[in-house]
């Protein structure tokens, strides 16, 4: 599960980190990002592009936005299958949040990479129409089982792509299901849990 995350970086840092061009520049650092907020995502192509999308797929049948897709079944679910093959993205983050149960109380934990860099969560993009008929681009974050650091507080975590995996994920010519699913595993990076 990934229900909140942070992007404590400015647009220049994202341009540098992803060697990307910018489609839209209205963006400010966010210490805590909630579902349905509009945030930067990275798309592939001839050049990487920073654009904006709304967090949470909104198919007609869903009672609330679908903010996560399970990596284990993403290719089997009709809502996620086409975007998985044709519209993958990176969701940049500096940390994500999870709630740990301590003495029957929920304690919010901030989780980041030990090296404290901007990291890439595997995401999918899809377009939906709002009530006025406007097309809204939305994204969802793919999750996987927890790594050893994360298991202490939760059994799920977002898929964090290694830098060398980013080009594969953003390459829409890559159609190998086994290669793509092979990227959706717990990170081997050390996590810092605060």
**Phi, psi angles (nearest 5°) of residue 152:** -65, -25
CATH number at residue 138: 3.90.1680.10
Strands 20-22 and 48-55: parallel
pLDDT of residue 1: 75
Number of domains in the chain: 1
Strands 5-7 and 88-93: unpaired
**Phi, psi angles (nearest 5°) of residue 143:** -115, 165
Short-list 147, 141, 140, 188, CA closest to 164 = 188
Whole-angstrom CA distances from 167 to 90, 103, 109, 170 are 10, 43, 30, 5
Q: Which residues are registered as beta bridge partners of 120?
A: 92, 161
What pTM does this model have? 0.96
Q: What domain range is 187 assigned to?
A: 5-193
Any idea which residues carry the catalytic annotation? 2, 98
Question: pLDDT digits over 140-189, tens only?
Answer: 999 999 999 999 999 999 999 999 999 999 999 999 999 999 999 999 99
Residue 26 has pLDDT above 80, yes or no: no
Q: Which uninterrupted H or E stretch holds 53? A: strand 48-55
């Amino acid at each position: 599960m990934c229900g909140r995350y942070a992007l404590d970086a400015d647009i220049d840092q994202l341009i540098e980190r992803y060697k990307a061009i910018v489609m839209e520049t209205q963006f400010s650092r966010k210490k805590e990002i909630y579902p349905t907020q509009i945030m930067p995502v990275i798309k592939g192509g001839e050049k990487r592009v920073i654009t904006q999308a709304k967090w949470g797929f909104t198919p007609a049948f869903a009672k609330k936005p679908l903010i996560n897709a399970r990596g284990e079944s993403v290719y089997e679910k009709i809502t996620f299958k086409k975007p998985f093959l044709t519209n993958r993205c990176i969701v940049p983050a500096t940390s994500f949040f999870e709630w740990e149960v301590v003495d029957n109380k929920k304690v919010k934990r901030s989780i980041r990479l030990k090296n404290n860099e901007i990291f890439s969560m595997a995401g999918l993009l899809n377009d939906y129409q709002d009530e006025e008929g406007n097309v809204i681009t939305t994204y969802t974050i793919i999750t996987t089982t927890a790594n050893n650091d994360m298991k202490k507080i939760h059994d799920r975590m977002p898929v964090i792509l290694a830098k060398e995996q980013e080009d594969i994920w953003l390459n829409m010519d890559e159609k190998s299901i086994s290669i793509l699913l092979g990227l959706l595993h717990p990170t081997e990076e050390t996590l810092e849990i605060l």
